């Protein structure tokens, strides 16, 4: 093969990768699926644009090395702490039960024990890149089901390393005796310890040394050398390329330059990972899909149903989540993803996964990735239907005590007991307004009941529960949960049950404001908007705009429904908003500590030099209105001043330089 032929195939592969990304992004489908589909169309089983994809795949597999290095950089401390109990329980249960169940089924279908275990590992993996993207698009990352799904993904990312290490053991390597297997284990552990020692000792020190040279180009070259060199070293010692890269990432986190290393690696990883998935797609054989259609469909059904069921069961039985949260998280993770292909490649090369089964896994995984966006869109309806079926169709699983009729009309119903709900209820308790809290996290409700007698467990998306809460008689209903989709559903049902009750909804994201207002929210508080307003206010303070105009300006932004913030960026702000900053206003100013005690308002000539009018002088807590201009001022005196923003700035400067 000539060098020009290899270069042409690499260029063609890059072009196909870009085309797949552009096409599927426009269709709002996962980019990974786009890479796979375009590769399948261009490969030997399709148009045969690249007749021998194995040649290009050698280069494309570098993407896997970069992916594992990035996982190693992110996982060790920060993300392992975030993993917590939820990830260990739900993630551990999902991986263990899926591996055991699939392996048992595959064994009874005729696969060897080793191949059956590999098949279980393949099904247990989900697509981190796809799920994170879909959860972000649906504004569910911070929702309970989003946090649960992410914690399971982190556990799965960790699990790929022992899976890859197990491949050589399962393959046997020709050593069938117990003694041979023991020696193989000892050699593997020794190689693992040696690689870990080298990268743990060498990588941080080399990073620190090179960083002292202050050469960005040298640092970039070093980043590439660490990733590829550690992978090569691991393979030479009998491990896999991916394991070596992962260990190097773990070692690099101990260096203060880990974040810079991360920024150097991630852009290149994205390119080569796209190449990897496109090359994997080229290995897909459409004829194999036709020949093994029943098994492909069986693989797809087992993947979706089993993983969804295991995660839902683990979250409800072991973590105390309600069924809706467990099903939403399970359906989000019901596909097989990038590490399935990585593990399948390693197993195929080790002889543990024959060509028919490799094609079944490849076809089923591609179909599961394509189906994931549609499954997630249907997930809320599926979860609601399952919850109704669980409750026997009566919808009254949650028992809410009837409220005292004397307070129902004055009561505030607070849905959600997170930080926002807790702050609101503290205020309501202080001003003696009756309230009732409803939350769907049983553990949180149990903890809160020790100090909060007005909190109850329940799922506020259920119309029957809302009716029993008496929302149609409530003075106000506040929806303060982090699940954007559930917030919309609750607001819609509140408006149907209580058309005259004010509904205040809280959301994190700008894009949720219009849907919530359309659903019937009386007012929407958007955290992104409030952060923008606070940023504007702090900036105006730094430029010495008086507090009065700032307060009027920010209140006007809220009163008009954040219209000025939501308008297109190229458009200037409405002139009337800017006029609010220029209006005359009163402001308290303090004479600085270095102010000379003998100077008076008359001597300072305040009116002529600044245009401000002094309305009062406060000293030691006593305010003197209409002060005598000839009376000397003292350091620490507070002046009540009337003037425009520019005039107040002039007066501040006059007092400081008196």
How many of the other CB atoms lie within 10 Å of CB of 296?
22
Query: How far is Cα 90 from Cα 309, in angstroms, rounded to an integer?
Result: 12
Please write down the HEC assignment for all residues of 205-247. HHHHHHHHCCCHHHHHHHHHHHHHHHHHHHHHCCCCHHHHHHH
Q: Tell me, what CATH number does 640's domain have? A: 3.30.70.1450
Are the C-beta atoms of 163 and 342 separated by less than 8 Å? no
Residue 368 forms part of a structural domain: yes
Residue 357 and residue 459 in one domain: no
Residue 626 forms part of a structural domain: yes
Query: How far is Cα 301 from Cα 305, in angstroms, rounded to an integer?
Result: 6
Are the C-beta atoms of 508 and 140 separated by less than 8 Å? no
Residue 429 and residue 372 in one domain: no
Q: Tokens 């390119």: give the residue.
A: 271
Residue 481 and residue 360 in one domain: no
Residue 171 forms part of a structural domain: yes
Residue 398 forms part of a structural domain: no
What's the pLDDT at 395?
A: 43
Q: Tell me, what CATH number does 322's domain have? A: 1.20.1530.20
User: pTM of the full predicted structure?
Assistant: 0.69
Last residue of a domain, one of 320, 349, 383: 383
What's the pLDDT at 134?
A: 80
Residue 443 and residue 590 in one domain: no
Residues of the chain scoring pLDDT < 70: 1-6, 52-61, 63, 74-84, 172-185, 188, 238, 240, 254-259, 266-270, 390-409, 544, 560-585
Pick from 403, 400, 412: which is nearest to 458 by CA? 400
Residue 434 and residue 472 in one domain: yes
Structural domain total, the chain: 4
Q: Tell me, what CATH number does 424's domain have? A: 3.40.50.720
Last residue of a domain, one of 582, 599, 629: 582
Residue 334 and residue 190 in one domain: yes
Residue 336 and residue 202 in one domain: yes
Pick from 337, 161, 187, 167: which is nearest to 248 by CA? 161
How many Cα atoms within 13 Å fall on the side-chain side of residue 428? 22
What's the pLDDT at 79?
A: 53
Pick from 618, 617, 611: which is nearest to 653 by CA? 611
Residue 238 and residue 320 in one domain: yes
How many of the other CB atoms lie within 10 Å of CB of 468?
18
Residue 173 forms part of a structural domain: yes
**Which phi and psi angles does 644 have, rounded to 5°?**
-75, 170
What's the pLDDT at 132?
A: 76
Indicate the helix (H) or strand (E) that contains 68: helix 62-74
What is the DSSP secondary-structure string of 281-327? HHT--HHHHHHTHHHHHHHHHHHHHHHHHHHHHIIIIIS---HHHHH
What's the pLDDT at 304?
A: 93
Residue 298 and residue 316 in one domain: yes
Residue 278 forms part of a structural domain: yes
Residue 136 and residue 246 in one domain: yes
> Residues 163, 166, 168, 174: what is their CA dihedral angle, to the nearest 10 degrees?
-140
Residue 392 forms part of a structural domain: no
pLDDT digits (tens, 9 = 90+) for 70-119: 777 765 455 555 556 788 888 889 999 999 999 999 999 888 899 999 99
Residue 531 and residue 498 in one domain: no
Residue 131 forms part of a structural domain: yes
Query: How far is Cα 227 from Cα 370, in angstroms, rounded to an integer?
Result: 31
Residue 469 and residue 418 in one domain: yes
What's the pLDDT at 503?
A: 92
**Which phi and psi angles does 627 have, rounded to 5°?**
-65, 155
What's the pLDDT at 130?
A: 78
**Which residues, listed in sequence order, are joined to residue 503 by a DSSP beta bridge?**
477
Last residue of a domain, one of 318, 352, 383: 383
Indicate the helix (H) or strand (E) that contains 415: strand 412-415
Query: How far is Cα 402 from Cα 408, in angstroms, rounded to an integer?
Result: 9
Say which residues have a Cβ less than 8 Å from residue 67's Cβ, sequence separation at least 6.
242, 269, 273, 338, 342
Q: At what angle do helices 338-349 and 62-74 cross, to 10 degrees?
A: 120
Q: Tokens 């093994």: give the residue.
A: 292
Supply the range of the domain harboring residue 574. 527-582
């Amino acid at each position: 093969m000539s060098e020009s032929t290899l270069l042409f195939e690499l260029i063609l592969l890059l072009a196909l990768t870009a085309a797949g990304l552009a096409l599927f992004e426009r269709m709002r489908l996962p980019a990974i699926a786009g890479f796979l589909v375009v590769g399948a169309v261009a490969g030997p089983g399709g148009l045969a644009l690249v007749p021998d994809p194995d040649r290009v795949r050698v280069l494309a597999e570098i993407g896997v090395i970069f992916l594992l290095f990035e996982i190693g950089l992110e996982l060790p401390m920060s993300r392992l702490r975030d993993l917590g109990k939820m990830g260990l329980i739900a993630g551990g249960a999902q991986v263990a039960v899926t591996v055991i169940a699939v392996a048992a089924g595959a064994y009874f279908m005729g696969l060897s024990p080793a191949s059956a275990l590999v098949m279980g590992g393949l099904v247990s993996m989900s697509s981190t890149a796809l799920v994170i993207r879909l959860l972000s698009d649906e504004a569910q990352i911070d929702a309970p089901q989003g946090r649960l799904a992410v914690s399971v993904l982190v556990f799965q990312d960790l699990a790929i390393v022992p899976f890859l290490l197990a491949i050589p053991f399962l393959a046997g390597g020709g050593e069938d005796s117990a003694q041979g297997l023991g020696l193989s284990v000892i050699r593997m552990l020794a190689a693992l310890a040696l690689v870990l020692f080298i990268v743990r000792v060498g990588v941080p020190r080399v990073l620190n040394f090179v960083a002292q040279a202050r050469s960005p180009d040298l640092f970039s070259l070093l980043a590439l050398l660490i990733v590829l060199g550690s992978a090569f070293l691991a393979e030479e010692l009998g491990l896999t390329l991916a394991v070596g890269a992962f260990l190097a990432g773990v070692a690099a986190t101990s260096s203060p330059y880990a974040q810079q290393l991360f920024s150097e690696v991630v852009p290149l990883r994205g390119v080569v990972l796209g190449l990897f998935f496109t090359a994997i797609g080229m290995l897909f054989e459409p004829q194999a899909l036709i020949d093994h259609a029943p098994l492909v469909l069986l693989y797809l059904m087992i993947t979706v149903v089993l993983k969804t069921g295991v995660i839902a069961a683990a979250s409800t039985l072991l973590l105390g989540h309600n069924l809706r949260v467990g099903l939403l998280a399970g359906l989000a993770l019901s596909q097989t993803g990038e590490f399935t292909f990585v593990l399948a490649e390693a197993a195929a090369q080790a002889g543990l996964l024959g060509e028919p089964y490799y094609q079944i896994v490849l076809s089923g995984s591609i179909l599961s990735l394509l189906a994931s966006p549609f499954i997630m869109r249907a997930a809320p309806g599926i979860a609601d239907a399952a919850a109704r079926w669980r409750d026997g169709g009566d919808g009254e699983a949650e028992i809410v005590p009837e409220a005292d009729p004397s307070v129902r009309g004055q009561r505030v119903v607070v849905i959600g007991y997170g930080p926002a709900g807790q702050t609101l209820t503290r205020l309501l308790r202080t001003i003696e307004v009756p309230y009732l809290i409803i939350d769907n996290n049983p553990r949180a409700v149990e903890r809160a009941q020790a100090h909060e007698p007005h909190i109850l467990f329940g799922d506020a998306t259920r119309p029957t529960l809302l009716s029993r809460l008496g929302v149609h008689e409530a003075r106000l209903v506040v929806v303060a949960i982090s699940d954007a989709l559930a917030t919309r559903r609750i607001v819609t049902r509140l408006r149907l049950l209580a058309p005259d009750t004010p509904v205040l909804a809280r959301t994190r994201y700008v894009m949720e404001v219009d849907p919530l207002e359309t659903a019937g929210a009386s007012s929407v508080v958007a955290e992104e908007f409030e952060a923008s307003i606070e940023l504007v206010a702090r900036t105006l303070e730094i430029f010495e705009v008086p507090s009065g105009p700032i307060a009027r300006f920010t209140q006007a932004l809220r009163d008009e429904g954040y219209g000025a913030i939501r308008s297109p960026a190229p458009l200037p702000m409405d002139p009337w908003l800017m006029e609010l900053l220029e209006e005359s206003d009163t402001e308290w100013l303090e004479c600085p500590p270095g102010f000379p005690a003998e100077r008076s308002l008359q001597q300072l000539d305040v009116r002529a030099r600044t245009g401000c009018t002094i309305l009062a002088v406060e000293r030691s807590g006593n305010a003197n209105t209409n002060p005598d201009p000839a009376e000397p001022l003292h350091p620490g005196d507070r002046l009540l001043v009337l003037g425009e923003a520019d005039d107040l700035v002039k007066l501040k400067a006059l007092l400081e330089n008196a």
